[in-house]
Chains A and B, each alone.
Chain A
């Protein structure tokens, strides 16, 4: 038994209402920003927290 099917959206438009190309651009922007944030701040911070073999660096970071 099948119910009535949903009306299909106009060509080039998704169910959310935004045109497909806008969604694609948004996705690319989000990915680029995420990668930039990861490589600029997150990964260097993780490396500093887990791979720093020097002495005294934490004193420099500590609030005074």
Chain B
């Protein structure tokens, strides 16, 4: 009887080990295929819906354009292509070879498709803070080497109107996963338009978060951020 229990336990451990090993292999290598496919789909929808040349604000009047954009942002469904982004150093692309298509929303499910825009943060080029989350490992690891950014590097974001916004790299910081101030309205406390990128730290762990801050180099447009405090953001997310 004892021998049978021991043998059963042994088999259980062997099978458990194999399952865990397969899961790790799936996470490290196969999730990337899923993201690649999602990025291809996002690219396709992006090229169909986003103009090659930026929409002129003067065409409909500055107020009309802002209102229309607000409406469009609200209507944009979760998981749809929200923006396109890449990183540059001296005109050369760094961090990623390909353009990253940012999805609307930042749940774990949505982040399987690529970097995700925190819904309550500002739009690209807005006067507030544009916050984007991305995986450091797994699911294509879009922010794998985002820690390599240094002074002089730029973060480029194209919005759904086809306008390209440039953010200058400012600093990076390791914070706790609960430090929601980094995605708040003015994380640098300097009242400048910013971009915040959040990702896991260290690689393969979610014990901490690596935060990259950038400052808008172009003339900002009207903010669409909710202007809520981090506590209000958490409360809203709960609802």
Which B residues between 107 and 154 are near A, CB-CB below 8 angstroms?
Answer: 108, 111, 116, 118, 133-139, 143
Are A54 and B133 in contact, CB atoms less than 8 angstroms apart? yes
In chain B, what residue has the closest Cβ to A39?
B23
Q: How large is the interface on B (under 10, 10 to 19, 20 to 34, 35 or more residues)?
A: 35 or more
Q: How many residues of A contact B (CB 8 A)?
A: 17
Contact among A43, A48, A59 with B178 in the assembled complex (CB-CB below 8 Å): A59
Which A residues between 14 and 50 are near B, CB-CB below 8 angstroms?
Answer: 38, 43, 46-50
In chain B, what residue has the closest Cβ to A54?
B133
Chain B 173-184 per-residue mask, 1 if CB under 8 angstroms from chain A, else 0: 001011110110
Residue A13 is within 8 A (CB to CB) of chain B in the complex: no
Residue B76 is within 8 A (CB to CB) of chain A in the complex: no
Residue A53 is within 8 A (CB to CB) of chain B in the complex: yes
Residue B106 is within 8 A (CB to CB) of chain A in the complex: yes
Are A59 and B206 in contact, CB atoms less than 8 angstroms apart? no
Chain A interfacial positions (CB closer than 8 Å to B): 38, 43, 46-60
Chain B interfacial positions (CB closer than 8 Å to A): 19, 23, 27, 106, 108, 111, 116, 118, 133-139, 143, 175, 177-180, 182-183, 198-200, 204-206, 209, 211, 230, 233-234, 237-238
Can you list the 8 inter-chain pairs with the closest CB atoms, starting with the nearest?
Answer: A56-B180, A53-B199, A54-B133, A52-B206, A58-B177, A53-B133, A53-B200, A59-B234
